[in-house]
Structure 1
Amino acid sequence: MGASQSRPELVDEKVFRVEQPIQFSPDVVDQLSDHTASPTPTPERQSTLDEHIRSRIQNEVKQLRKEEEEVHKAIHSALEKENLDREKAMAGDASESGETGAGTIKSSAALFGDLEEIRAKIERFQARKELSNYPEIKSSQEALLSCYKAHPTTALECWREVSKFKASVAQLEQESFKTLH
């Protein structure tokens, strides 16, 4: 029944006969025989292939680096956004609970401002700290050092210079304390 449909039909074969023989030039025959004898490409062809492969690899590396940079930027922006959201949430929680003063959580900008203010105070303090602006401390320091050099084994001989130096330093500390507050 169905056997006739599953059988392939016989196809009439057509055969063409060439009346003249096909001839190839000796160069073509030599080239074909050289290619079959050695499976490696010629040096010119190999260098072309190598250059093509190198360029494709370089293009892939550039593309991967570009994608990596985009991923880094995306991660950085996501982390930055997350940190800002967390700071806002923490600041909101602190202000809603009624906390004030030292217990509150400040934003990065506020903390940066506080840091700059402290830095300015430190710079003013460092400027005041220089002894060239305070000749009385400088002179008492020099007197104390010369006394110590004059009495290397009996340092207790310099008690007067030590007390003068301490008094001038205490006076400077009092002046500095008044100007800071």
Structure 2
Amino acid sequence: MGSANSTLQDSAPVSFSQDLVDTLADNAASPSPSPARQNSIDAHIRARIQAELQHLRAEEQTVRDQIQAALEKENLDRERAMSGDPDSVKTSPALLADLEEVRAKVDRFHARRDLSEYPGLRENSDALVACYKNNPATPLDCSQQVDNFKASVAEIEKEHVKSLQ
């Protein structure tokens, strides 16, 4: 069936142009991929590096959280051991409530420091600050303002002591 047509014939040797041979030799000698293929490979490698980096960061955060929890527990245990009374150690919410109470006390203290009741003190304080600002290189020029301020403070202190008696 077709075997008659497929006989081997002696044919002339195949020859290739020197340019083709050189190109094939160059491609065989340098197995680097084409620029498009190289860009694709680079993008794939970058994506894998980013994924691994995110994975490592997540693991690092998990380890940090575990360390933080262990340190908090260790500190709490140490405080309980030092106090002798396990119920005397405060928890974070209790400490936050205490902190808010202290902040409220500080705010009340600052409110009491309102100098509107003492206009002389306010004037002397403002004059002293202005003198220091006007004479940054020679603060000794403000000695009169300092003396006036000190006198105002001394007078207010005397009034306060009298009010306590």
Identity of aligned residues (%): 16
Q: Deviations over 1:35-70 (max 9, x none)?
A: 11453469xx52123212211221122122112211
What SS does structure 1 have at the residue aligned with 2:8?
A: coil
The one of 86, 97, 105 aligned to 1:113: 97
The one of 103, 107, 110 aligned to 1:123: 107
Describe the shift of the 1:128–1:30 C-alpha distance in structure 2 as closer, same or farther (beyond 3 A): same
Q: Deviations over 1:90-121 (max 9, x none)?
A: 354356x2489xxx543343333322222222
Larger radius of gyration: 1
TM-score, normalization: structure 2? 0.57
Describe the shift of the 1:29–1:54 C-alpha distance in structure 2 as closer, same or farther (beyond 3 A): same
Q: Give the aligned CA root-mean-square deviation in angstroms.
A: 4.5
Long gaps (5+) in structure 1: 1-17
Matches within 5 A, 1:17-28: 19-20=8-9
What SS does structure 2 have at the residue aligned with 1:20?
A: coil
How many residues end up aligned between the 2 structures?
143
Paired residues of 2:76 and 2:89 also in contact (CA < 8 A): no
Long gaps (5+) in structure 2: 1-6, 132-140
Equivalent residue for 1:53? 41
Paired residues of 1:91 and 1:106 also in contact (CA < 8 A): no
Paired residues of 1:140 and 1:165 also in contact (CA < 8 A): yes
Deviation at 1:163, TM superposition (A): 4.8
TM-score, normalization: structure 1? 0.53
Describe the shift of the 1:110–1:90 C-alpha distance in structure 2 as closer, same or farther (beyond 3 A): farther
